[in-house]
Chains A and B, each alone.
Chain A
């Protein structure tokens, strides 16, 4: 985020009002108000009707406000939700680690390539990110299935006799997240690695540091902002992931996004879904704040 540029004093008021007012009003109505609604409805009771929840302000109710904690109580009584939250964090964490393990060497290799090559290599990282997310996850069904690429290859090589069960397991979910979110990891890592002054390496090497020492003492610490940004960009959306556990995961790959989706579309319990979403948001607030904090510090360091 850059600071506002110095403005000449003559600014048409109507133009200023349009530029700020239009997107502002849109985001208030379609972004902020909906969140307040989720919060509000998480405190109401489900009813059969349209809309299927009790109004908070009910003139004929016992009090003016009708706040029900039932949804939250249910959320902590039923193991399903607790297990889903924990499993989401667990799966997102492991997938983020895998992304870092593959993304870091990849970003490093791109940053070390000759400048004309870098743009091509970067474009090739971003290109799959542009094609349909759903279809990319679908593509992995063809790789991991019982008659998929991996099993066919291993059978043909004689390594295994029976196809391995990979599709519809947690492993498939890890791979799906790793694949889908890899660009989010590589791009910030590349940005911080590319910024490194090659002279630093040269100097350290000239002074007798072994390549691994140079990496550990210079490259790694200086690329820490990229590591944090990339990890957060993978970890945060992965927690709420729905498509990947739904298509690649097994019945026990209970991620909270999937549980919420099923709760909403099969049981049609809107207030409970709203409570699930509110708690998910609370879980995400901490990593989002960490991310914003490091982004702001990183940006301030650049300027």
Chain B
């Protein structure tokens, strides 16, 4: 027996999703506005997209952001996956409690504190050992690895926790060393989670403003830093165009990640329930 879905709930859904999507759609629509005045429609035009291509400041910043995002997401995926293994497959060890706390804490820590603390670390390190020399792409990448590895760890950990360990135990009983078993059995099974972790780390890095502002040095402006300094003064049509491009790219990435997760879950149905 199937009961009718209440009209009240349909209107809740309609209002909720309108609230979520109308502002974004508005930005996308106005990115095609010919008028320099952002609020007045002056006809359809692609001119702001064209101007983006000639804006060297934005292109440089985008290139820096992209490089940092690829490097930090890759390192964060490696470290985050190791952290997830250390939390689910390594039994008990000294300092496990502290470790659990350190993995979870970056998720709730205000960025402003993380940013300040990392800056103080880099300055003190430079004072003590002369490394890192100055601030820029390197310090930004190190900081992004630190906050995004927590997200990767959480995603991979939930997958590992839901996964049946009997396969790994069987492989061990058959004489596989823990290293081979992890490499041949565990990692292929958590690969979809690692990939979605990588994508999340990538978008988090691409998006971060506050931490980056603290740990960046002169001459190293990432895309969010450029966007923030422009947006602080109000709406601008070229930022509308940039926003539209970013939203389209990210949506495609998320669609890929969603597809990977779903196809991964199809292979091991127990995981599906834990992904919320």
Contact = CB atoms under 8 A, between A and B. Distances in A.
Contacts of A37: 117, 120-121, 124
B26 interface: yes
B86 interface: yes
A41 interface: yes
Interface string B2-45: 00011001101100110111111011001000000011100000
A98 to B, nearest CB: 11
A154 interface: no
B231 A109 contact: no
Contact of B27 (A5, A8, A135, A274): A135
Interface string A1-40: 1101111101110011011101110111111111101100
Interface string B139-177: 000110110010001000000010001000100110001
A173 interface: no
B146 A15 contact: no
A190 B80 CA distance: 26
A24 B276 contact: no
B207 A123 contact: no
Given A30-B146, A34-B118, A41-B120, A138 B27 contact: yes
A139 B207 contact: no
Interface stretch (A60-68, A74-82, A145-153, A217-225): A145-153
The SS class assigned to the B binding surface is helix
Interface residues of B, number: 97
A240 interface: yes
A138 B243 contact: yes
Contact of B20 (A128, A260, A284): A128
Contacts of B120: 34, 37-38, 41, 270, 274
Interface string B74-115: 000001101101111111110100011011111011111110
Interface residues of A, number: 99
Nearest to B29: A142
Contacts of B86: 19-20, 23-24
A109 B80 CA distance: 34
B27 A142 contact: yes
Nearest to B21: A128
B97 to A, nearest CB: 11
Interface string B254-276: 10001000100000000000001
Given A12-B178, A141-B234, A264-B116, A135 B39 contact: no
Contact of B93 (A10, A20, A140, A273): A20
Interface of B: 5-6, 9-10, 12-13, 16-17, 19-24, 26-27, 30, 38-40, 79-80, 82-83, 85-93, 95, 99-100, 102-106, 108-114, 116-118, 120-121, 123-124, 127, 142-143, 145-146, 149, 153, 161, 165, 169, 172-173, 177-179, 182, 200, 203, 206-207, 209-210, 213-214, 224, 227-228, 231-232, 234-235, 239, 243, 246-247, 250-251, 253-254, 258, 262, 276
13 contacts: A1-B100, A10-B177, A38-B120, A106-B12, A127-B251, A131-B251, A132-B206, A138-B231, A138-B235, A194-B276, A237-B108, A257-B210, A280-B110
